[in-house]
Amino acid sequence: MEKALIALAAALAVGIPAVATAYAQAKIGSAGAGTVAEKPETGGTIIILEAIPETMVILGFVVAIMLILQFA
Amino acid sequence: MIRKMIRLALWGVTGKRREIIEELHRLGVLHLEQGSGPSAGESARLNTLRLLRGKTLGLLESLGWDEWTSLSEESINDTEKLLSSLPADELAPEIGKSLEEFGKRLSSLLDERTASEELLLRAKKARDILDRFSAFFRREDGGPQGKTTLWLISENTVQQALAALHGAFSSRGEAWDGRHHFVPGKDFMGVLGLRVSPELEGEASEILSRWKALPWSLPEFCSGVRVEDALAILGKKSETLSERLETISGDLRRASGEWGPRLAALFLFIDARTEQAAVEARLDPSADTFTLHGWIPEDALEATVSALKGRFGDDVLLQWRHPGEKEWSTVPTSLNNRPLCAPFELFLKLLRPPSYSGIDPTTAVALFFPFFSGCMIGDMGYGALILLLSLKLKKAVRPMLRDIGSILLSVSLWSIVWGAAWGEFFGDAGHRLFHLEPLWVERSVSVLPVVVFTVALGAAHVFFGLLLGIYQGVRNSHRHLWMEKAGNLAVLLALVAGLVVLKAEMPRGVFTVPFSLLVIGLALLIAGGGIGGIIETLGSIGNIISYVRIAAIGLSSAILALVASKFLDVFGLSVFGIFLALMIHLLNFVLAIGGSALHSARLHYVEFFGKFYSGNGKEYTPFQRRSGSSWKKHS
């Protein structure tokens, strides 16, 4: 039971930021696609903006790893 | 690295201006600085050339030719040699006349194609409709005499119209046996076929018109033909039109293959002349001499000066000097890297170029990008496949694809090295088949060492970026910049040192070192960037943790590869099992290439470049012939 709770906590630690990242990337992606269509030279900046929210899920991954290694 | 630039000024005799400008254009190294606007007299020549350029481009588009990469230098040079032999005054009219003649021939072919396509479409539509009435026609041919007419009518009113016809005829005691057939179509409209005796035809038309029905007619080439007999004629006509269209398409393909490269070479020649005329138009034709100035790479100076002096002697005067510190913001940036690193300049093309006084990060990208990507992929099997792909791409015609091939080659080598470290060959297939063991750790099992390693890697990368930032600040005498970067670095080092002291359980006295570093760092941060500097340091900690993505993506790739092997365990060595395993490996391979490239690029753009890169440079655009399809961007 305890292991299951730890696994659930780790899954939530990755899952919730993943949903948040997906939401942010969807918003940035749709706006970015419009921007690139208007100004192709902004492609590099858009890739950078698109990649920024990913940090959330990476931090979630670190938390999940810590949870598993500490308590499992 | 960023090439050193020289400010070059050229004075020339006005009578020789056209030849001098042509020579500069041929040499293709001078980044010209814009002068005043065009004078009225010279604009006429410029406008004629622009018109010719537009016409040539229009003809190329009409021909559907777009193989700029296959255009050989030889054909471009031949065209240039041939046209340059014409007297300058005759050049534009001669080209204009030739283009007009070719345009007329091409237009007649294109017009015929358009007309034939339209006719074919009409014939096809008519056949589609008549096909659906063929049973009705066969049935009525055996019945009483009469004429068949077709009407376009709304589905909502067709029954009422038929009732009106029936009512009108039966009230007068005339017989109408209601011979009709309705075919529904799109948007609630359909076609009504009606068979009536010749006496009732006029009245039937009148009634149907009242119900907003429109008579449906055959295409012009079937005029005078009964609708019942039109199907065969339409079939024959469609065949003839299709054959004619094929002949026209063949003619156009041949014309495109034969004339496309010639027109493209002509376009590049006119484009070059237009560019030269635009520069010439800015000069004052009434003065005895003219001046041009711009920037030239130092390594091209000697060859340029000797070429100009050798051809024009005393008719040109050249002077040059290094740019002053105040001019650095106006100097264009030209990158010149070793062949091994040059393909990685591709990453800077997505950003504005670095400033002339800035740092070219290409060499650093060439070192770190394949290392990070290879660490994420970390599979000898995938690495070998990427190696094959890169060798194929390196033979491509397009320079960009060749660059991607070179980048993938480095990535593949690092993937193989990391594959050996993790002991992966198509997941655990290497272990199962040849008892392959990891040289370091099995990353799908021992996650923590990999996570720690990637954080350490991130710290090293970010520290290197900060060091470059300090160097740039000191070199450009930006006190605030180097102080902020140095403070940032000192605080991060203090944190790392503190962690080391804590983990290694060193004596408390040793804490003085990280504490001193922290105090110095904070002082530098506040002096350099104020409160914003402290916030940037917090961002830098996030940046370092962000490198954990290398471990995370690597882990997901390793586990996906294990899943592929599991399919073989579950389904055995069956066709289905092998197929599923291959599909998973294919998916993993695509994800490995795409994901590793994207995330490595992000680590460079956001985490690394953010520490020193200032993309506020001016692109070096030498005055030269535009190659390939680069004209598309500018014209």
Query: pLDDT tens for residues B461-477?
Result: 999 999 999 999 998 88
* Shared-domain flag, residues B408 and B535: yes
**Out of B447, B448, B546, closest to residue A55 by CB:** B546
* Shared-domain flag, residues B603 and B479: yes
* Shared-domain flag, residues B452 and B505: yes
Chain B residues within an 8 Å CB radius of A47: 350, 598, 601-602, 605
Q: CB-based contacts of A41: which residues, under 8 Å, 6+ apart?
A: none
Give how many domains chain A has, as a whole number. 1
pLDDT tens track for B139-164: 777 666 778 888 999 988 888 888 88
CA A9 to the chain's CA centroid: 17
Distance from CA of A7 to the nearest CA of B (A): 16
Q: What distance in Å separates the CA atoms of residue B557 and residue B84, rounded to the nearest whole number?
A: 60
Q: Which of A46, A56, A62 to mutate to test the interface with B (most CBs of B within 10 A)?
A: A62
Q: Is residue B116 part of a domain?
A: no
Q: What is the pLDDT of residue B42?
A: 57
- H helices present in B132-283, as ranges: 134-141, 158-171, 201-210, 227-281
Instruction: Please tell me which residue, A44 or B516, carries the higher pLDDT value.
Output: B516
* Shared-domain flag, residues B65 and B146: no
* Shared-domain flag, residues B412 and B322: no
DSSP state for residue B506 in the 8-state scheme: -
**Out of B552, B601, B605, closest to residue A58 by CB:** B552
* Shared-domain flag, residues B500 and B369: yes
* Ramachandran bin of B224, using left for φ above 0, alpha for ψ from -120 to 50, beta for the remaining angles: left
Q: What is the pLDDT of residue B70?
A: 79
Q: Do B545 and A51 touch (CB under 8 A)?
A: no
Q: Is residue B246 part of a domain?
A: no
Q: Is residue B600 part of a domain?
A: yes
CB-based contact B360:B1 (threshold 8 Å): yes
Handedness of CA B100, B102, B104, B110 (dihedral sign): negative
Q: Is residue B346 part of a domain?
A: no
Q: What is the pLDDT of residue B37?
A: 55
Q: What distance in Å separates the CA atoms of residue B272 and residue B264, rounded to the nearest whole number?
A: 12
CATH code, B150: 3.30.70
Handedness of CA B414, B417, B421, B427 (dihedral sign): positive
CATH code, A65: 1.20.20.10
Instruction: Please tell me which residue, B296 or A44, carries the higher pLDDT value.
Output: B296
Q: Do A55 and B451 touch (CB under 8 A)?
A: no
User: 3-class DSSP state for residue B195?
Assistant: strand
Q: Is residue B390 part of a domain?
A: yes
Domain final position from B194, B228, B262: B228
Q: Which domain holds residue B214?
A: 125-228
Q: Do A52 and B606 touch (CB under 8 A)?
A: yes
Q: What is the pLDDT of residue A65?
A: 84
Q: What is the pLDDT of residue B175?
A: 61
| Chain A residue nearest residue B595, CA to CA | A51
* Shared-domain flag, residues B463 and B364: yes
Instruction: Scan for tokens 């700029």, then name that residue.
Output: B68
Q: What distance in Å separates the CA atoms of residue B226 and residue B140, rounded to the nearest whole number?
A: 13
* Shared-domain flag, residues B416 and B507: yes
Chain B residues within an 8 Å CB radius of A44: 349-351, 605
Q: What is the pLDDT of residue B397?
A: 84
Q: What distance in Å separates the CA atoms of residue B164 and residue B240, rounded to the nearest whole number?
A: 43
Q: What is the pLDDT of residue B633?
A: 43
Q: How far is CA B609 from CA B2, B210, B601, in A?
A: 16, 76, 10
* Shared-domain flag, residues B222 and B140: yes
Q: Which of B376, B602, B633 to mutate to test the interface with A (most CBs of A within 10 A)?
A: B602
**Out of A43, A44, A58, closest to residue B549 by CB:** A58
Distance from CA of A1 to the nearest CA of B (A): 23
| DSSP class per residue in B71-124 | --HHHHHHHHHHHHTS-HHHHHHHHHHHHHHHHHHHHHHHHHHHHHHHHHHHHH
pTM of the model: 0.76
Helices first, then strands: H and E counts in chain B: 19, 10
Which of the residues in chain B have pLDDT under 50?
A: 631-635
* Shared-domain flag, residues B41 and B94: yes
* Shared-domain flag, residues B546 and B419: yes
DSSP state for residue B397 in the 8-state scheme: S
Other Cβ atoms closer than 10 A to B270? 27
Q: CB-based contacts of B432: which residues, under 8 Å, 6+ apart?
A: B565
pLDDT tens track for B564-623: 888 888 888 888 889 989 999 999 999 889 889 989 998 998 899 999 998 889 999 999
Give how many domains chain B has, as a whole number. 3
Q: What is the pLDDT of residue B320?
A: 95
Establish, for the pair of chains A and B, how many residue pairs have beta carbons separated by less than 8 Å. 44
Distance from CA of B545 to the nearest CA of A (A): 7
| Chain B residue nearest residue A45, CA to CA | B351
User: 3-class DSSP state for residue B272?
Assistant: helix
Q: Do B448 and A62 touch (CB under 8 A)?
A: no
CB-based contact B547:B607 (threshold 8 Å): yes
CA B147 to the chain's CA centroid: 60
Q: What is the pLDDT of residue B135?
A: 84
Q: Is residue B607 part of a domain?
A: yes
Q: Which residues of B485-524 are buried (b: 16+ CB within 10 A; e: fewer)?
A: bbbbbbbbbbbbbbeebeeeeeeeeeeebbeebbebbbeb
User: 3-class DSSP state for residue B263?
Assistant: helix
Q: What distance in Å separates the CA atoms of residue B355 and residue B37, rounded to the nearest whole number?
A: 28
Q: Do B548 and A61 touch (CB under 8 A)?
A: yes
Q: Which domain holds residue A11?
A: 2-71
* Shared-domain flag, residues B469 and B560: yes
